[in-house]
Amino acid sequence: MPTAEQRARTLDRFQQHRRAWEANPALQELYGDWYARVRAALPDPARGPWWELGSGPGFARRFIPELALSDVVAAPWHDREIGADALPFADGAVGALVLFDVLHHLPSPARFFAEAARVLAPGGRVVMCEPYVSPLSFLVYRFLHDEPLRMAADPFAEHDGGGGAGEKDPFDANQAIPTLMFGRATGRARFSAMFPGLAIRSIERLAGPSFPASGGFSRRPLLPAPVWRWLFAAERRMPGPLFGAIGFRLLVVLEKR
């Protein structure tokens, strides 16, 4: 569990992200598009409640009001405090688990997927929107992003973010984890062997240079608003395979067999 200092630092970062979000229309458009894709991938609500893990600043509520929000450090806008490696749900009780920029922060992705396989109802889904390391995005994630990128890591191993046992900070990360696990054939094969109850339903690469050009949460937009909107609109007309080379995001949908 996070220490008192880590909890305070995490809540402060949530607030920083909320302020950056409100000041950046490009970021709002990007997240609106990504959450619309997440919403389209969710199963029938009759299968059980939808929960977002690691909701952080809570942007999902604007786009998917039916989604219950949670985080390992709960803020006032969250419905519950939940850690992804020990989900407080009965077997087969959940319809969907949404992770938005969360998988690459988990100290034990494998433990989360074991829990997901347990709590999801048949036909329930895990929907994840995560960083994708393409030839283009590698340069940005490796040299310009404040989170580490370790391509040699084992994505199925336990990670402590370099802090040692018991010192895991909620924002420790390895941006490579989603790509190593789902963006490569070897990772997908290992996942399917380890978690046969979770079928990989779809993997989509998306979001080109418009993402870094938005400035993200730590910089001002790099382009004037009309130019950025033109770039964003142009990307939405690009063929999907192109994002294997220029993409920055990975949308993964898993389904409980």
The CATH number given to whatever domain includes residue 106 is 3.40.50.150
Distance (Å, rounded) from C-alpha 40 to C-alpha 46?
Answer: 15
Distance (Å, rounded) from C-alpha 201 to C-alpha 143?
Answer: 32
**Host domain of residue 205:** 4-256
pLDDT, average across residues 20-37: 96
Question: Cβ–Cβ contacts within 10 Å for residue 192, how many?
Answer: 12
Q: Is the pLDDT of residue 124 over 80?
A: yes
55, 78 contact by CB (below 8 A): yes
Distance (Å, rounded) from C-alpha 97 to C-alpha 85?
Answer: 13
pLDDT, average across residues 104-119: 97
Bridge partners for 251 per DSSP? 129, 204
Give Cα separations from 248 to 26, 81, 83, 207, 212 (angstroms). 16, 29, 26, 5, 9
Q: What is the pLDDT of residues 29-42, one digit of tens each?
A: 999 999 999 999 99
pLDDT, average across residues 235-250: 97
Distance (Å, rounded) from C-alpha 202 to C-alpha 166?
Answer: 35
What is the CA angle 90-91-97, rounded to 5? Answer: 85
Q: Is the pLDDT of residue 218 over 90?
A: no
149, burial (CB in 10 Å: exposed 0-12, middle 13-18, buried 19+): buried
Tally of structural domains, the chain = 1
Q: What is the pLDDT of residues 188-211, one digit of tens each?
A: 999 999 999 999 999 999 999 999
Mean residue pLDDT of the chain comes to 94
Task: Write phi, then psi, for 127 (nearest 5 degrees).
Answer: -120, 120
What 229-236 contacts at long range (C-beta under 8 Å, 24+ apart), as own/partner pairs, is 229/26, 229/29, 232/26, 232/29, 232/30, 235/207, 235/208, 235/209, 235/210, 236/33
In 3D space, the residue among 201, 211, 200, 198 whose CA is nearest the CA of residue 134 turns out to be 211
Secondary element (H or E) of residue 51 = strand 50-53
- Written as one string, the DSSP assignment of 144-162 is T-SS---TTS-TTS---TT
Which residue type is seen at 256? K
